[in-house]
Every structure is written in C-alpha cells, then in structure tokens.
Structure 1
C-alpha cells in the first residue's frame, strides 16, 4: 500500500521556525511533524510514502533517510516545478502511486495531527464500495470552514458548503483521504484544488464517502493551533496511559520531556509542555503551554507561557516570555527581559523588552 503526503510550500504561517527547516521537519511533541504521519502509515501496512514537495526536497530526503532505514519504509519525493494546489501533486505523482494492484492509496495534508484512525478508514472504504473516502472532524464553529454535508447513516457525501451562514452541519474536511486509482482520472496535471474541484464531482456521482474521525484533530500549521494541538496530543497520550509522559511533584498536567533534557530544582512544569532533546532548564523555572526545541536553555527563574522556543535559543534569568511569543533558531534573550507576543527571527540577541506583539527582524 502507498501514501502521498502533501508537503506544500514555504510554511509562511509558522515563521520564523520555517526559516530554519521546512515546515514538515519542525518538531511537534519532540518529533518532526511529518514523522507522526509516516509512523501511523507504517503501522497499518503502508510500504512506500511519496512526499509531494516544491521546496527544499533534498533537505527533506536527507533528514528522513535515517527514519527510512529505522522504520523499514521507502520514502521518495515528487517535486513540483510550480505550485499545483492540493490536487495537481496527486496527478504529478501518478506513476509513483499506481502499481497495477488496484489498491487504494492514502493522501494526507502534512500539517494535520490526529489519532490517525487509518485502519478503520480502510475498513470503511471497503464497506461502502465507493471511489473515495475522506475523513471529517466535528467542529464547534462550522461557519469558519467548508462544511461537508453527508448522509449520517451511510456516510455518503451530498455536497460541500463553504463557510455557511446558516447551519447545515458541523463536519469539516480533516485532510486525510483514501482514494481508488480511478480518482486520478478526475485530476488534471495543473494547479487544482481537490477540495473545491475534484471531490464535488465525485460526490455528484455518489461515489464519495466521509468517515467521522474519532478522537482529536488539529491543523498545526500556525503557532496558535500548534499550541492547541499539543494540548490535544498530550491529552490523547494520557488516555493511552503512555509512559512517555513525565511525572513528579514538579509536574502539572501533561508534560513530555526528552530523556536527554536536564531539569533543575524548584521548577514547576505544565500543563501542556514539550521539552526537546538536550534542553537545559535551570532552577526555579516556570513552564506552561509551550514547546522547547532541541538544545534550548532556560536560565534560573524564567517564566515561559504559551510560546515556542526555537532550537538552541537561550532565555535569560528572571525573563518572562508569553502570549504566543515565537523565538526562531539561536535567539538569545537577556536577563529580566519581557516578551509579550514577540516573534523573533533566527540568530538575534534581545536586549530590551517587547511590550506589544511584533516581529523582531
């Protein structure tokens, strides 16, 4: 079985992190985003993953070589010369996806994090006998999204309604698809949206079905949703009684700490914190709703809340970093500095406080 992951473009919504690495390689819960998906695909029998990419393919492939060997799965690239939307890359990768077996293949958006109920999706696809299956997820405010209107008993998709003003349903496209090879006959090799052009046609032919995704789902392609997604992911780990979660008198709620990280005395950590490899958290530090990437050092009595701290950055003593502040790679914040929503580009030294949300160039 094969899968295509839509890696997409430049990751502008996650800058300044994506100024250092392509978005799919940005760590989420101490693991590159895309690795969460590749591991889920491997677990249900996928043998080859194709990355549809138009930006830095050599960086992606070089990084993933070790995981290819470790997981025992083939990872290749299909490179776009020009952006092809969400459908064009599937047509471009046609020869990589079709092997004559007639088996369906998965297509995933690279910045979606969920419980990946892929095995159940395969069974659902076999049962309905249609041409394509899409995963949908329930949301509280459907007026902000494109809503999938479906038959609740069979899952057959009736139509799509973009940002409805009147309530027509509360299920939206979750960015996980299982497609028969025949779907490729509906897709031209040009910039095309699978959501707006291809799926409505298949729905008109009554061959498109939707499965409601159990468990959590989040598009983590921008900082606010990244932080929300981390909370949902860690809560899911807790329900599975995962030994990966940290415990102790200094831990509040769900916290993930890499085994190589060092935590000082008198710290209070959590809830919803991920501390990456080789991080050093000195004494008296307070961390909540945040991610520390590899090699970060947080000095004595600093306070970090609702933030992402990029690779090899340093936060000084008694500093306070909060309100969706994002530090790029190798940023060094001085002692007693305050950042209120500061977005700091890589390789900067911050010597004065950032009192209002702004980008520091």
Structure 2
C-alpha cells in the first residue's frame, strides 16, 4: 500500500520557523511534523510514501536519507516545477501511485495532526464500496470552513458548502483521504483543487464517503494553531501512552521532554510544553503552553508562555516571552528583555523589549 503526502507550499503562515526549513520538517512535539504521519502510515502496512514537494527539495532529500533507513520504509519525492494545487500532484505521481495491484492509497495534507486512525479508515473504505473516502472532523465554528454534508447512517457525501452563513452542519474536511486508483483518471496534470473540483464530481455520482474522525484534529500550519495542536496532542498522549510524558517535581500537567535535554533545579514546567533534543533549561525557569526546539537554551529565571522558541535560540536571564512570541532559528534574546508577541526572524539578537506584537526583521 502507498501514500502521498502533500508537502508543497512555502509555509508562509508559520514563518519565521519555515525560513530555515520546509514546514513539514518543522518540529512538532520533538520530531518533524512529517514523521508523525509517516510512522502512523507504516504502522498500518504502507510500504512507500511519496512526498509531493516544490520548496527546498535539498532539505527534504536529507530528511529522506535519514528516515528511510531508520523507519525501514521507502520514501520517494515527486517534485513540482510549478505549484499544482492539491490534486495536480496526484496526476504528477500517477505512475508511482499505480502499482498494478489495484490497491487504494492514502493522501494527506502534511500539516494535519491527529491520532491518525488509518486502520479504521481502511476498514471503512472497504465496507462502503465507493471510489473515495475522506476523513471529516467536527468543529465549533463551521462558518470559517467548507462544510461537508453527509448521510449520518452511511457516511455518503451529499455536497460541500463553502463557509456557510447559516448553520448547515459542523463537519469539515480533515485533509486525510483514501482513494481508489480510478480517482486518478479524473485528474489532469495542471493546477487543480481536489476539494473544490474533484471531490464534488465524485460526490455527485454517489461514490464519495466520509468517516468522522475519532479523537483530536488540528491543522498546525500557523503559530496559534500549532500551540493548540500541541495541547491536544499531549492530552491524547496522556491517555494513550502516559509513560512518554515527563514525571518529576518540575512537571505540571502534560509535559514532553526529550531524554537528551537538561532541566536544572527549581523549574516549573507545564502544562502543555515540549522541550526538544539537546535543550538546556536553567534553574528557576517557568514554561507553559510553549515549545522549546532542538538545541535551545533558556537561562535562569526566564518565563515563557504561549510561545515558540526556534532551533538553537537562547532566552536570557529573567527574560519574559508571551502572547505568541515566535523566535526563528538562532535568535538570542538578552537578559531581562520582555516580548509581547514579537516575531523574530532567524539569526537576530534582541537587546530591547518588544512591547507590542510586531515582526523583527
């Protein structure tokens, strides 16, 4: 069985983190976003993952070399010369996706985080006999999205309603699909939207079915949703694999700490914090609702909340970072500096406070 992951796009919503690497390689809960998906796909028997890319292919190739060997799964690239939307990449990778067995294949958006119930989705797809299955998730504010209208008993999709002004339903496309090879016959090699052009045609022929996603879901493609997604992920981890979470007098609620990180005395960490490989958290530090990425150092008595600390960055003593402060790679915040929503591009040194949300070039 094969899978295609849509990893194109420039990651503009997640800058400055994506100025150093493609969005799918940005760490989420201490490993690249993409790796969460590939591990889950391998667990249900997927033997080859195709990455549809068009941005920073060299970095993606380095990722492939490292994780093909670690995971013992074939990872290949299908590179777009021009952006092809969400359906065009399937046409481009057609020869790789069709393996002669007639097997269905997965298609995923790379910035979706969930519990990935792929086994249940395979069973659902095989049970309804249609041409395509999509995962849908319930949301509180459906007017912000395209809503999927489906039959509650069978899951058959009736239609799509884009950003409805009146309530028509609360289920939206979750960006996880299982498709028969015949779907590829519907897609031309040109910029095409699978959601707006391909799926409505399949639904009109009564061949599109939707499965309601169990558990949490989040598109973590922008900082606010990244932090929300981290909270949901850690909450799920607490229910399914609590032994992976940190235990100790410093931990408050759900905290994920890489085994190579160093945490000194008198820290208070959590809830909803991830501390990456090689990080150093000095004494007296307070962290909540934040990510501290690989190789970063937080110095004594600093306080960080609702923020993302990029790779190899440093936060000075008694510094305070809050309100969705985002540090790119190799940013150095001085002692006693305050940041209220500062977004700092890579390789900068911040010596004075940022009193209101702004981008530091």
Both structures adopt the same fold (TM-score exceeding 0.5): yes
Task: Kindly provide the CA deviation profile for residues 185-228 of structure 1, in whole angstroms up to 9, marking residues without a partner as x.
Answer: 11111001000000000000000000000000000000000000
Which residue in 1 is equivalent to 2:308?
308
**Contact 2:293 2:312 (C-alpha < 8 Å) held by counterparts:** yes
1:241 deviates by 3.6
Which residue in 1 is equivalent to 2:238?
238
Distance 1:129 1:61 in 2: 37
Q: Please list every run of 5 or more consecutive structure 2 residues that lacks an aligned counterpart in the other structure.
A: none
Which residue in 2 is equivalent to 1:278?
278
**1:131-150 mapped onto 2 (5 Å cutoff):** 131-150=131-150
- The SS at the match of 2:7 is strand
Task: Calculate the TM-score normalised by the size of structure 1.
Answer: 0.99
Task: Calculate the TM-score normalised by the size of structure 2.
Answer: 0.99
**Contact 2:219 2:225 (C-alpha < 8 Å) held by counterparts:** yes
- The SS at the match of 1:295 is coil
Q: Please list every run of 5 or more consecutive structure 1 residues that lacks an aligned counterpart in the other structure.
A: none
2:194 pairs with 1:194: yes
Distance 2:147 2:293 in 1: 35
Which residue in 1 is equivalent to 2:11?
11
**Contact 2:64 2:76 (C-alpha < 8 Å) held by counterparts:** no
Task: Kindly provide the CA deviation profile for residues 52-78 of structure 1, in whole angstroms up to 9, marking residues without a partner as x.
Answer: 001122211212212111111000000
**1:1-361 mapped onto 2 (5 Å cutoff):** 1-361=1-361
Aligned-residue CA RMSD (Å):
0.6
**Contact 2:114 2:216 (C-alpha < 8 Å) held by counterparts:** yes
Distance 1:124 1:343 in 2: 43
Distance 2:70 2:317 in 1: 40
Moved over 2 A (4+): none
